């Protein structure tokens, strides 16, 4: 049996078994550790009995305290943890050194009367069994804690490595590490220990990995070499390198980091994407540099030379460029006609607010990217609101597989989950096609996802007349919210061809082809919980771009419909994927992809077809219950 996140959780369902208690200045048993309060803002936790973790109580609305394991090593690093002042939302494990049981944890900026001193406890185990109703069935999530961008995506020796922006000390943004999961089929993900931890140089921001087949960097042919941005107030944003000789399990940071700093002191200079440019046998690095992308080259992965920049004034204006990628693909499958697509994630700039992924098509001559279209042309990789920081796996010859983060910076920190926050969207294969004089990317769920199909219902064709809805009352018995719908339809004689995913609580997602407006629409206004930000209080000080504070414009940001372009053709195909907290559409072979979060109070289990201003024909309808 394959190891999956869900059965790993079961294996880890050990409970918080061994608790040694609390002590110090507070009342309670004096076993395991003592507290030494030095004034109101500095406390030393003296651990006197061996335990694997100090379990720290977190209250998400608290300000950050600084927690550090004191070993005397200059590498000792403070982690920002929102220790509970008044109530404990959940615990996070703070790992202690194995061995004698002697350790000191220094905690700053957490007042003496805070609740956390009473609640913290020693334990040899940490319970990662799922507690979140909205945890997806078949989308990747971290076992606990916060996740944003996919990082360092690389395929090697039969394994897909998914590293990701990770906070192991709370389910809101902070303490950027690279978390790590691995998969053999892009469907079942096995959680692995953190690959790169925040250090004294800074947070470990986003980046990429390559397999160094030719041993350019000197760590051995076939080593994985990863690039990330080290980000701190002290050093700014600088590009660093690390390598792994054990198939991506553990990394050694380069002792001479950074490998690249901005020549003009730019503040926003991050997310290095490295790839091999075969025609000139050299490495290329793309770095997002405020409102453009900068290109560098290298022979040894360590010394980088500036080549060019692209993007100033291109696409949605103004917007912050983040997380670049660039891929070369055959147009319409023609290997003799290849084009490059430069993927540029922007925040803000999404058509519907917040973050989104745009791309530019054109040529790359080894030095410079030139765009085929005018600067004002905008092409979207996805037309939903929850598709961001999308980058591709390296080392997947013959295939380009992209992995989005399924959220939006407007509200990512306050979505109604708690044990974890954020999932990845489905991995998708990118292809290129031409339409008229222009070239576009199509995005389709990877074919491996078909292995999720557990039960199939093939429905006979039918016609949907205006005013006469066709309803399938029960999609599946025991439907836990994970299903796929495949439809082909002819809609020449209607104005609106629509369907609704509904549950028993009057919540629904409406998906419709608006023929007049030329739009495919997904409406989540009545999808379930849409006002989750209502009670959120912005924190006074935020570590990164005031992102949590910016999340408070919640209702308009979340309760809305998104749309993508619909061609004038009569016939269309639609694939719909639903999971606990998301609905994704793929129209006409992935020409339009649309990814949106939803939080229904119970799974959608009814399907209703409706038509306005005419009738349409459903030529085929396949329903699949999905499961891991
Ligand atoms: C994109 C991003 C990146 C940065 C990372 C920090 O979502 O802002 O530019 O490296 O998140 O977590």
What distances in angstroms separate CA 363 from CA 195, 367, 373, one per listed residue? 35, 10, 11
Q: How far is CA 353 from CA 42, 379, 508, 545, in A?
A: 41, 16, 22, 16
Task: Tell the residue number behind the tokens 């992965």, with chain if given.
Answer: 301
Q: 625 is written with which tokens?
A: 């219950």
**Centroid of ligand 1 to alpha carbon of 580 (angstroms):** 25
Q: What whole-number distance in Å separates Cα of residue 44 and Cα of residue 563?
A: 54
The 10 Å Cβ neighbour count of residue 531 is: 11
Protein residue closest via CA to atom 6 of ligand 1: 205
Atom of ligand 1 nearest to the CA of 388: 7
Q: Which residues contact 33 (CB under 8 A, 6 or more apart)?
A: 20, 22, 23, 24, 45, 46, 47, 48, 49, 54, 122
Residue closest by Cα to atom 9 of ligand 1: 322
- CA-nearest of 530, 547, 532, 528 to 410 is 547
Q: How many angstroms separate the alpha carbon of residue 391 from the centre of ligand 1?
A: 12
Instruction: Name the residues annotated as catalytic.
Output: 149
Distance 177 CA to ligand 1 centre (A): 12
Q: Counting Cβ atoms within 10 Å, is residue 426 exposed (0-12), middle (13-18) or buried (19+)?
A: buried
176, 141, 162, 592: which is closest to 391 by C-alpha? 162
DSSP strand pairing (420-421 vs 145-156)? parallel
Minimum CA distance residue for ligand 1 atom 8: 322
Three state DSSP letters for 3-62: CCHHHHHHHCCCCCCCCCCCCCCCCCCCCCEEEEEECCCEEEEEECCCCCEEEEEECCCC
Question: Which of 323, 345, 542 to mutate for ligand 1's pocket (most ligand atoms within 8 Å of CB)?
Answer: 323
The whole-number pLDDT of residue 21 equals 33
Please report where in the chains the tokens 């054109």 appear, as a residue.
362
pLDDT at site 532? 73
Nearest of 527, 524, 445, 521 to residue 484 by alpha carbon: 445
Phi-psi category of residue 109: left, alpha or beta, with phi > 0 → left and psi -120 to 50 → alpha: left
Look at residue 552 and give its three-state secondary structure.
helix
Q: How far apart are CA 388 and CA 411, in angstroms?
A: 13
CA of 347 to the centre of ligand 1 (A): 10
Q: Reduced to 3 states, what is the DSSP secondary structure of residue 343?
A: strand
Give the position, in ligand 1's atom list, of the atom nearest the Cα of 229.
Answer: 10
Phi, psi (rounded to 5 degrees) for 102 = -100, 120
| Three-class HEC string of 83-132 | ECCCCCCEEEEEECCCCCCCEEEEEECCCCCCCHHHHCEEECCCCCCCCC
Atom of ligand 1 nearest to the CA of 173: 12
Query: How many CB atoms sit inside 10 A of residue 449's CB?
Result: 20
Q: How far is the CA of 360 from the centre of ligand 1 (A)?
A: 20
Q: Whole-angstrom Cα distance, residue 176 to residue 403? A: 19
The 3-state DSSP class for residue 280 equals helix
Q: CA nearest 253: which of 187, 199, 309?
A: 199
Mutate to test the pocket of ligand 1, among 146, 267, 271 (most ligand atoms within 8 A of CB): 271
Pocket test for ligand 1, best of 142, 204, 205 (most atoms within 8 A of CB): 205
The pLDDT, as a whole number, for residue 40 is 82
Q: Which of 148, 267, 325 to mutate to test the pocket of ligand 1 (most atoms within 8 A of CB)?
A: 148
Query: What pLDDT does residue 16 have?
Result: 31
- Residues in contact with ligand 1 by the CB-under-6-Å rule are 148-149, 165, 176, 205-206, 229, 270-271, 322-323, 389
Cα-to-centroid distance, 86 and ligand 1 (Å): 31
- Gap from CA of 245 to ligand 1 centroid (Å): 26
Secondary structure letter of residue 327 according to DSSP = E
User: Closest ligand 1 atom to the C-alpha of 345?
Assistant: 1
Tell me which DSSP letter residue 524 carries: -
Neighbours of 365 (CB within 10 A): 12
- Give residue 531's pLDDT: 84
Beta strands in 233-304 (DSSP E): 236-244, 252-253, 269-277, 282-289, 292-298
Low-confidence residues of the chain: pLDDT under 70: 1-30, 533-556
Which whole-number Å values give the CA distances from 186 to 288, 429, 452, in the listed order? 27, 11, 11
What ligand 1 atom has the least distance to the C-alpha of 231? 10
pLDDT in tens, 529-580: 998 755 544 433 333 344 443 444 444 688 899 999 999 999 999 999 999 9
Identify whether the C-beta of residue 561 lies closer than 8 Å to the C-beta of residue 526: no
- CB-count burial class (<10 Å; 0-12, 13-18, 19+) for 244: buried
Q: Are strands 42-47 and 103-108 parallel, antiparallel or unpaired?
A: antiparallel
pLDDT in tens, 375-386: 999 999 999 999
Model pTM?
0.93
């Amino acid at each position: 049996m394959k190891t999956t996140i869900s059965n790993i959780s079961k294996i880890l369902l050990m409970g918080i078994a061994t608790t040694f208690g609390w002590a110090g200045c507070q009342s309670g048993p004096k076993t395991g550790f003592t507290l030494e309060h030095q004034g109101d803002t500095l406390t030393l936790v003296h651990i006197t009995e061996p335990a694997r973790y100090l379990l720290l109580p977190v209250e998400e609305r608290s300000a950050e305290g600084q927690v550090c394991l004191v070993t005397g090593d200059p590498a000792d690093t403070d982690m920002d943890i929102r220790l509970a002042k008044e109530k404990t939302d959940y615990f996070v494990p703070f790992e202690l050194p194995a061995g004698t049981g002697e350790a000191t944890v220094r905690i700053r900026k957490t007042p003496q009367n805070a609740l956390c001193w009473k609640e913290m406890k020693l334990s040899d185990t940490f319970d990662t069994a799922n507690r979140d109703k909205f945890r997806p069935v078949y989308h990747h999530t971290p076992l606990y804690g916060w996740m944003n961008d996919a990082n360092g995506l690389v395929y090697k020796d039969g394994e897909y490595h998914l590293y990701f922006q990770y906070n192991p000390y709370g389910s809101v943004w902070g303490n950027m590490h690279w978390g790590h999961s691995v998969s053999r089929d892009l469907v079942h993900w096995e959680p692995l220990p953190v690959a790169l931890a925040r250090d004294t140089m800074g947070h470990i921001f986003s980046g990429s990995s390559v397999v160094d087949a030719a041993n350019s960097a000197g760590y051995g042919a076939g080593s994985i070499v990863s690039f990330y941005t080290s980000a701190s107030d002290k050093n700014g944003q600088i590009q660093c390198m690390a390598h792994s000789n054990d198939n991506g399990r553990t990394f050694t940071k380069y002792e001479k980091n950074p490998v690249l700093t901005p020549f003009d002191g730019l503040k926003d200079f991050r997310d290095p994407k490295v790839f091999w440019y075969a025609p000139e046998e050299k490495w290329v690095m793309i770095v997002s540099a405020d409102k453009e992308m900068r290109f560098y080259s290298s022979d040894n992965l360590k010394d980088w030379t500036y080549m060019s920049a692209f993007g100033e004034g291109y696409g949605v204006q103004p917007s912050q460029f983040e997380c670049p990628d660039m891929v070369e693909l055959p147009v319409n499958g023609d290997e003799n006609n290849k084009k490059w697509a430069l993927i540029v994630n922007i925040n803000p700039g999404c058509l519907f607010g917040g973050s989104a992924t745009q791309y530019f098509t054109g040529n790359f001559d080894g030095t410079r990217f030139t765009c085929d279209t005018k600067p004002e042309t905008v092409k979207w990789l996805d037309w939903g609101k929850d598709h961001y920081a999308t980058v591709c796996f390296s080392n997947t010859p013959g295939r380009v597989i992209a992995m989005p983060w399924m959220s939006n910076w407007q509200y990512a920190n306050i979505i109604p989950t708690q044990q974890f926050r954020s999932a990845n969207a489905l991995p998708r294969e990118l292809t290129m096609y031409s339409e008229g004089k222009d070239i576009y990317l199509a995005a389709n769920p990877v074919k491996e996802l078909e292995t999720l199909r557990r039960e199939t219902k093939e429905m006979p064709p039918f016609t949907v007349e205006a005013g006469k809805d066709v309803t399938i009352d029960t999609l599946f018995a025991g439907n836990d919210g994970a299903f796929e719908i495949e439809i082909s339809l002819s809609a020449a004689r209607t104005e609106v061809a629509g369907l609704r995913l509904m549950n028993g609580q009057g919540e629904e997602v409406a998906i419709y082809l608006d023929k007049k407006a030329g739009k495919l629409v997904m409406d989540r206004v009545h999808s379930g919980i849409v006002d989750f930000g209502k009670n959120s209080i912005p924190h006074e000080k935020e570590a990164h771009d005031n992102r949590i504070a910016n999340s408070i414009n919640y209702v308009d940001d979340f309760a809305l419909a998104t749309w993508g372009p619909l061609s004038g053709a009569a016939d269309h195909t639609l694939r719909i994927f639903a999971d606990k907290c998301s609905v994704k559409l793929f129209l006409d072979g992935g020409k339009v992809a649309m990814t949106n979060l939803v939080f229904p109070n119970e799974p959608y289990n009814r399907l209703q077809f409706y038509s306005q201003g005419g009738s349409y024909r459903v030529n085929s309808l396949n329903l699949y219950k999905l499961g891991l």
